[in-house]
Structure 1
Amino acid sequence: MFLPAGSRDEMGTSIDHRFRVTEVFRKVITMRGYSLISTPVVEYAATFTNQYVDMKLQDMMKWFNPEGEIEVLRPDWTTSIARALSNQAKIPQKWAYIGSIFKQSIPGIESQQIGVETLHLSPLMGESESLLMASSLLRELQMGDCLIELGHTEIFESLVRPLTLSEADEKRLRQAMHDKKKDEVYQIALNGKNEQSAKELASLVDAFGSLDILSDYEERWKDRKDLLDILDHLKKLARIVEQSGNQEILIDLGRVKNLPYYSGTMFRGFLKETGADCFSGGRYDRLYEQFGERISAVGLAFDVDVLAEHLVETKDYTHICIIASEDTLVQAEELRMEYKDAIVDIQTQPLENINYDLVLEISKKNGKVEVMER
């Protein structure tokens, strides 16, 4: 049978690598005190299309249920978990999840994710825990150092507020900032009739690089306490992450949020060796407003397929082939038990596509069983 566009069958190594990633993730989160959480794969569309989340219905896998309500396959873990935890006790919480999201815009519709969400921790505690967990996971997976990019939603938002822009222009401005189109950012911002804000917004396109960016903008924004507080927070977070490992920190003061519920620090992680984008996340306190709450919440998610693709193959087990016949299968199974820490493959002949560490042959002669090494 043929498959829909983007769908694929998988077998062998790629699946092994994904299981390895999730096994290591479970080990890391267990040792860091997280509890696992799972939400239904089918949710109401309104959970994700309301004003607080504002995900696009056309991007979801959807249908009408018998009552005429729109249901969807889960398109986002963070929103789904927020719904599940909205009535929980207001004490520090650390949750982790393993599972898929479904969107029309991603290859194959399905994307497998692992991630964490922390609630009711102070901003610096929650954000640093998320990033340090990510660093721990990458170390355990032997993927080397990563580049961690920090940004903050309120820098762009605070500079846009003085502008009198239409909703359409603000959307265009956000996209131009995301695409790093400096001239376009300036020209759209000028429509807001505030040249100083337009210049500041345009400058953010180039506000990307090392931690020195923070010092430069501390001087530039010395009269803006709100922005100085943000820079100070990013500096503290960067210092904690740097001093706790070998990760390199990048700053992007022009980063804009891609979902309305982000409301503070945002971060992304890139594998240093290949540049692959392996995790993203940030603060989303306002997401809980739809449930009548305003709490401290932050999280991040890894793309399992990206991690699996970059996982280095390690040979952890001795691979043994036992050559047997129908008459010696029982003896072969008994012999297998002598190699409990090895991969033991019982065949009539060694497979040509496998490099065995040891090949043993069982035979019966005069009613006696003999085992010989080939």
Structure 2
Amino acid sequence: MLSLGKLLLADSIQLSKVGKVLRRTFELWGYGEVVLPTIEPYDETVRKGTKFAYNNGFYLIKPDVTSRLLKNYDIGFGKLYYISEVLDGSVEGNWQAGVEFIGGEPTFMTAEVLSVLITALESLGIEEFYIDLGSLEVWRRATDGIEDFRETIYRALERRNFGLIDGLPIDEEKKEELWRLFNFRGKETEYEKLTKILELVDDERVFVDLGTVRPLPYYSDVIFEVYSPEFGRPIGGGGEYSFRGRPAVGFALDLRALVQLANVDGKTSRRSLRGITSFREARKLVSMGIPVEVRR
């Protein structure tokens, strides 16, 4: 039986292997890594994290990355990625890997971010997955005139429970319209923005699912979730949001889910070196990007 220390080390090694592959993929797309401090001053706009008090102040340990960026950084245009543990009120957290594209045209940014997501999964040997696109704007338009019930309707979407909508005092024609949207999943939609994103991404694993929502306060319109038939819950998701008045799109992936799904053996062809001049030669090879192994 493995000790706790060995189990933790094995877990760390697997996370590192997956993270290494993702870093390479994100950087090939032109995204630069952002590394944030472990501790953040408490702010109600910063999500998650574990709260603690120190010197008459309140702080958060490892909160959500996107909400931290929104609060603390003024980025006009940027392509960022991160690999970080995120706590949620306890000492145990979830490891996430994500990207943020800030300051471009929303439809183009969404198409690129989805393409980054697809290649990230493929780089890990994960081929069986699908991505569902939803739209908050579609639901805002559908609920014009019944704004008093929007909160209940969004709650029904989050819970995938149309019964909450069926019990509302609205006319049957409107309920039928909401029912069609609630259950719509396919490749063709009347919402031009989603149609354009599908065309740009051009991947058979991407669908429009108007019942898809994500319960985060900063999303502005297009949202998406990614699923694997081998995993019982979403392995990631993201969407459009406003970054200090500028459009932005991002996603976060569940790193531990990826560890379970990935096919990464970590083996690399290395140049084997021996002898008294090995380290000089090794330095030259490494400077050229060639993996090495020096043996006695």
Give TM-score, length-normalised by structure 1: 0.65
Aligned pairs, number: 279
The aligned amino acid for 2:140 is E
Equivalent in the alignment of 2:257? 306
Q: CA deviation at 1:259?
A: 1.1
Equivalent in the alignment of 1:294? 245
Q: Aligned to 1:11, what secondary structure does the other structure show? A: helix
Identity %: 21
Task: Identify the match of residue 73 of structure 2 among 85, 93, 97.
Answer: 85
Listed as ranges, the gaps of 5+ residues in structure 1 are 1-6, 50-54, 219-230, 319-332, 347-374
**Distance (whole Å) between structure 1 residues aligned to residue 28 and residue 147 of structure 2:** 50
Given the alignment of the two structures, is residue 172 of structure 1 paired with residue 182 of structure 2, yes or no?
A: no
Equivalent in the alignment of 1:115? 98
The aligned amino acid for 1:310 is L
Equivalent in the alignment of 1:181? 161
Q: CA 1:9–1:126 in structure 2 vs 1: closer, same or farther (change >3 Å)?
A: farther
**Distance (whole Å) between structure 2 residues aligned to residue 77 and residue 8 of structure 1:** 28
Equivalent in the alignment of 1:101? 86
Judge conservation of contact 1:156–1:254 (CA < 8 Å) in 2. Answer: no
Equivalent in the alignment of 1:135? 118
Judge conservation of contact 2:81–2:99 (CA < 8 Å) in 1. Answer: yes
Instruction: Find the structure with the greater CA-based Rg.
Output: 1
**Distance (whole Å) between structure 2 residues aligned to residue 145 and residue 153 of structure 1:** 27
Judge conservation of contact 1:317–1:341 (CA < 8 Å) in 2. Answer: no
Judge conservation of contact 2:212–2:224 (CA < 8 Å) in 1. Answer: no
Question: For residues 1-374 of structure 1, what are the structure 2 equivalents within 5 Å?
Answer: 10-48=7-45, 55=47, 60-67=49-56, 69-86=57-74, 88=75, 90=76, 92-104=77-89, 109-163=92-146, 165=148, 170-188=150-168, 190=169, 193=170, 196-207=173-184, 209-212=185-188, 214=189, 218=190, 231-242=191-202, 246-272=203-229, 274=231, 277-285=234-242, 288=243, 293-314=244-265, 316=267
Q: CA 1:66–1:131 in structure 2 vs 1: closer, same or farther (change >3 Å)?
A: same
For each residue in 1:278-301, what CA deviation from the matched residue of structure 2 results, as whole angstroms up to 9, or x when unmatched?
22100011xx4xxxx311111001
Q: CA 1:70–1:159 in structure 2 vs 1: closer, same or farther (change >3 Å)?
A: farther
**Distance (whole Å) between structure 2 residues aligned to residue 177 and residue 18 of structure 1:** 33
Q: Aligned to 1:314, what secondary structure does the other structure show? A: coil
Judge conservation of contact 1:115–1:301 (CA < 8 Å) in 2. Answer: yes
Q: CA 1:258–1:194 in structure 2 vs 1: closer, same or farther (change >3 Å)?
A: same
Q: CA 1:185–1:8 in structure 2 vs 1: closer, same or farther (change >3 Å)?
A: farther
Q: CA 1:44–1:202 in structure 2 vs 1: closer, same or farther (change >3 Å)?
A: farther
Q: CA 1:19–1:232 in structure 2 vs 1: closer, same or farther (change >3 Å)?
A: same
The aligned amino acid for 2:254 is D
The aligned amino acid for 1:102 is L
User: What's the RMSD between the two structures over aligned residues?
Assistant: 3.2
For each residue in 1:315-357, what CA deviation from the matched residue of structure 2 results, as whole angstroms up to 9, or x when unmatched?
7269xxxxxxxxxxxxxx979x79x95698x9xxxxxxxxxxx
The aligned amino acid for 2:98 is G
Q: CA deviation at 1:272?
A: 4.9
**Distance (whole Å) between structure 2 residues aligned to residue 158 and residue 315 of structure 1:** 49
Give TM-score, length-normalised by structure 2: 0.81
Q: CA deviation at 1:260?
A: 1.4
Judge conservation of contact 1:61–1:104 (CA < 8 Å) in 2. Answer: yes
Q: CA deviation at 1:139?
A: 1.6
Q: CA 1:202–1:187 in structure 2 vs 1: closer, same or farther (change >3 Å)?
A: farther
The aligned amino acid for 1:304 is L
Q: Aligned to 1:113, what secondary structure does the other structure show? A: strand
Deviating more after overlay: 130-139 vs 268-277? 268-277
Q: Aligned to 2:140, what secondary structure does the other structure show? A: helix
Judge conservation of contact 2:110–2:197 (CA < 8 Å) in 1. Answer: yes
